[in-house]
Structure 1
Amino acid sequence: TERGQNDFIYHAYDTPQDWGEKDLLIFYWFGTGSGKRIEILVYAPEGTRFDFIFKDDFAGWKRMVVPLDSFIVREGNPSWSSVKTIFLRFTIDSPYTGTFYLDRLVLDVAPKEEEGDVKLMSEDFQTFVGILLSFFAVTFLPGVTWALFVFRARGWIKLIALSFGLSLSLVFLTTFLLNLALGLTISKVSAIFTVAFITVLPPALHYFRKITKGSS
């Protein structure tokens, strides 16, 4: 397929279908390992739609199991009891030229796990979890180790308050100094190493002092 021409697979029902009693959308997808994003659009009915996105990040046939409650509402007020059309296409930000294969698309009411199943989670939910964990790692985790091992904080309220303040200060200061001294720009990799270094440093120094005292 080529984006802008026959760039999708779709099926339009003659009459609206009731998927309200179903739980899962199951199909077989032949992956090419392209890393491209594939969008599943369910119009229910026309003018309203559900949406789900997964990645073509594997090779060969895989049985894909998508819970209907993982779809998000993209347009209007769609209803699973009035499904009219289903599309599979590459997203606009993942242009692709080539061939892709789909087989045995069915609905089911209960999970039937099979070896090799790929259980999909909404990409929007994955993004949300990633942002939440990143926020926790930057604004709280480094400060906890400094509050415990350097400032000897006691009590939950004091520990939490000190952890947030120390995390923000230390991450900002360390990033600024690394940029000033080494010209290190902020990237995903540098941010991970910076946060990891700040977090590990206090307990490492603490146990190093214990070892040196014990050996003297």
Structure 2
Amino acid sequence: MKLKELEMFLQDIEGFRQPKIQYEQYNTGHHIGARMLFSMNSFDDIEHKSILDLGIGCGRLGIGCAFLGASYVLGIDIDSDALAQCAENCSTIRDDSEDESMLTNLDLIQGDICDDQFCSKLNQRFQVVVMNPPFGTKNNKGIDMLFLKRGIDVALESVYSLHKTSTREHILKKCADWRVKKVEILAQLRYDLPNSYVFHKKRSKDIEVDFYRIEK
């Protein structure tokens, strides 16, 4: 699938109807999401791979991976409303000749990745982990790094993640501490953050983010 076609596909996946600030819910834009998936594909990290989407939200990344031929995708999210929206989005991905969803390779479970007990029960390991974690800029300081560490712990091969460019030095240091094999910043992107909450004063805001590939 060409990049433009991938963007169009992701654009049709509905985002959060009522985002929740306590979870820092922001949609993964179809522009950034398409570039993430396109890059993963270029490393042969989607097709025939088992993939975990940490914080799947409404599903743009996880659904994209399933649609592009992952052998299996598991999406985890703390929010039951987001999972319901994701399931609804999955149901709309259909072949013209079929009434049922094409995505038989994607499952969803509710869970809190901050909960050690929940994570200890997640005993299945995945070849690839993908995420667009909370940035930890409101009341969740450090949650971006917790997401990243959980992803690295469970991945067998690679982790793909978005993080604010301002945290680059810290992330590179932590990855060195965690003794990963290789860290690459595949791109520096502009995350278009729309006016989603009452405290947002501007119509939208661009946030500089780094797109990481971490090899185990």
Q: What is the TM-score normalised by the length of structure 1?
A: 0.25
Q: Structure with the greater relative contact order (CA < 8 A, sep ≥ 6): 1 or 2?
A: 1
Q: Which has the larger radius of gyration?
A: 1
